[in-house]
Structure 1
Amino acid sequence: MGKTVLITGAASGFGRGVAFGLAKRGHQVIAGCQIWPQVWELRNSARTEGINMQVIKLDVLNEIDRAKALGIEIDVLFNNAGIMESGPMAEIPMSVFRSVFETNVFAALELAQGFARAMVKRGAGRIVWTSSVAGLVKVPFDGAYAASKHAVEGVCSAMREELRPYGVQVVTVNPGAFRTGFNDTGMESMDQWWDQGERVVEHWPVRELNHQHDPEEMI
């Protein structure tokens, strides 16, 4: 029997691949996209491929979008939306650091909390979080992202044990470097602010991302 699955960050990368893959397997997919142009593009792509899925606007930082999404009854939440901001911890602007936690941790937890309540009452459900290998190891020059994923691991490990007695599963997936563009743009992100002030440490050394894996392996 097919499940109803809500996927955040479904416009690209793992979220998009999982949305199409689950829809092809007969599940009822609700694909959340951050902005309206992404909604339109994903709807058109699904229509072109003959895929039946519901595409909604779901900016996880937008309380109106979150409230609308929480009104949907689902079996599975895939907390996949996330951002990566690079930079040395001694230099990264606090506003940038906070933005990573707002998206990767706080907004995701708000959605998880909302759906968890409904799942507990129903006695069944699953919450899946996209974490990262960075949540398990140290990653110099990517400390903000790694810290947010360490937080995700902590949140999920606690929530897993808390919700297990109520029939609700909480799991993480921990991808490394895959060719979705996420790592490439995340590494580039620090260039937006690097030249806007006096720096005391060296810029992130050039790292060629030529050993990334096929996203289909993770999807």
Structure 2
Amino acid sequence: MSPRLALATLVLGTVLVLPAAGETRTYDVADFDAIDVSAGIEVTFETGVSTSVIVENEDGDFDDIIVESKNGTLTLKRPRRMGWGRGQRDSYSVSVGTERLSEIEASSGSRVTGNGLSSNGLTLDVSSGAEMTIGGIVAGKVTTSASSGSRMELEGTCDTMVADASSGSSIAASDFICNALEADVSSGASIRAHASDRVDAEASSGGSVRVKGAPANVTTDKSSGGSVRVTG
């Protein structure tokens, strides 16, 4: 078989095993600058664009997701189920567009990804096994929180990062270049950050803080097996 035919066969085989595209539904919602997502729903966001919410489901079933925007917050969740109906749930991927975002909260195994956040004040929160990955952040003060086995990964720049991690969670922000860091970690959680001027870090109960950037002003408080390491 010629190399060209072999390549064509490989491409065709690849195409044949691709999953079928899911069906989508567009939701008409009020403008928002915050997202609250839960229950294993996956969200991809884009800022600097007009408001839009598009939900995708492989089978075109949109009965197991609630989409609502109230008081500036877009909420993505599932309806409560009782009794035998509490088994496996449908998977949903949501594409979100908005002019700006100042707060994102993800919980209960949900996932949020996006690039490009610009705000004087930004709040990011993950809990209960949720994941959040955001790049291209340009912000003043960024307040982050991770708990209960959740994970957050950040990239960009900020003036001050306030980070709180507990219960086996992690905040990976070594490429999030900030002037100052205020960190509190406990119960086996970890924080990785970058601060060029000031660090105030508290670690307890096996939690760890690792900071790059060679800050000149460092204050630490360690107890019960907690650790803090600051390097260049």
TM-score (norm 2): 0.26
Greater RCO structure (CA 8 Å; 6+ sep): 1
Report the structure, 1 or 2, having the larger helix content. 1
Structure with max Cα Rg: 2
Report the structure, 1 or 2, having the larger strand content. 2
